[in-house]
Structure 1
Amino acid sequence: MAGHSKWANIQHRKGRQDALRSKLFSKLAKEITVAAKMGDPDPDKNPRLRLAVKEAKSNSVPKDVIERAIKKSQGGEGDDYEEIRYEGYGPGGVAIIVEAMTDNRNRTASNVRSTFGKYGGNLGETNSVAFMFERRGEILYPLSAGDEDTVMMAAIEAGAEDVETTDEGHAIYTAVTDLSDVSTALEEVLGEAESTKLVWKPNTTTELDLDGAQKLMKLIEILEDDDDVQRVTSNFEISDEVMERLSA
Structure 2
Amino acid sequence: MAGHSQFKNIMHRKGAQDARRAKQFAKVIREITVAARSGLPDPASNARLRAAMWAAQKVNMPKDTVERAIKKASGATAGDDYVEVRYEGYGIAGVAVIVEALTDNRNRTASDVRAAFSKHGGSLGETNSVSFMFDHIGIVSYPASVASEDEMLEAAIEAGADNVSSSAEGHEITCAIEAFFGVRDALEARFGQPEIAKLDWRPNVLVTLDEEKAVSLLKLIDVLDENDDVQAVYANFDLPDAVAEKLSA
CA–CA distance in structure 1, aligned partners of residues 196 and 244 of structure 2: 24
1:68-87 deviation per Cα after TM superposition (whole angstroms, max 9, x unaligned): 11011123336521111100
TM-score (norm 2): 0.89
Q: Determine whether 1:53 maps to 2:48.
A: no
In structure 1, what is the equivalent of residue 171 of structure 2? Answer: 170
Q: Once the 2 structures are TM-superposed, how far is the Cα of residue 152 of structure 1 from its aligned partner?
A: 2.6
In structure 2, what is the equivalent of residue 107 of structure 1? Answer: 108
TM-score (norm 1): 0.90
CA–CA distance in structure 2, aligned partners of residues 229 and 123 of structure 1: 15
In structure 2, what is the equivalent of residue 10 of structure 1? Answer: 10
Residues 102 and 228 in structure 1, CA contact (< 8 A), matched pair in contact too: yes
Q: Secondary structure at the match of 1:67?
A: helix
* Structure 2 unmatched ranges of 5 or more: none
Following TM superposition, the consecutive aligned residue runs of length 4 or more in structure 1 with deviations greater than 6 angstroms are: 12-16
Q: Secondary structure at the match of 1:244?
A: helix
In structure 2, what is the equivalent of residue 80 of structure 1? Answer: 81
CA–CA distance in structure 2, aligned partners of residues 78 and 200 of structure 1: 30
1:146-179 deviation per Cα after TM superposition (whole angstroms, max 9, x unaligned): 4544433332232211123467543211121221
The residue type paired with residue 184 of structure 2 is S
Structure-to-structure mapping, 1:37-186, within 5 angstroms: 37-75=37-75, 76-77=77-78, 80-165=81-166, 169-186=170-187
Residues 34 and 78 in structure 1, CA contact (< 8 A), matched pair in contact too: no
The residue type paired with residue 4 of structure 1 is H
CA–CA distance in structure 2, aligned partners of residues 203 and 175 of structure 1: 15
Q: Which moved further from structure 2: 28-37 or 177-186?
A: 177-186
CA–CA distance in structure 1, aligned partners of residues 246 and 28 of structure 2: 32
Residues 33 and 78 in structure 1, CA contact (< 8 A), matched pair in contact too: no
In structure 2, what is the equivalent of residue 24 of structure 1? Answer: 24
* 1:15–1:240 Cα change, 3 Å: farther
Q: Secondary structure at the match of 2:10?
A: helix
* Structure 1 unmatched ranges of 5 or more: none
1:25-77 deviation per Cα after TM superposition (whole angstroms, max 9, x unaligned): 21111101111012111111222212222232234332222111101112333
* 1:107–1:209 Cα change, 3 Å: same
1:125-165 deviation per Cα after TM superposition (whole angstroms, max 9, x unaligned): 11100111122111122344445444333322322111234
* 1:240–1:153 Cα change, 3 Å: farther
Q: Secondary structure at the match of 2:41?
A: coil
Q: Which moved further from structure 2: 57-66 or 131-140?
A: 57-66
* 1:186–1:243 Cα change, 3 Å: same
- RMSD in angstroms over aligned alpha carbons? 2.4
Give me the identity figure in percent.
56
How many residue pairs get matched?
248
CA–CA distance in structure 2, aligned partners of residues 85 and 203 of structure 1: 19
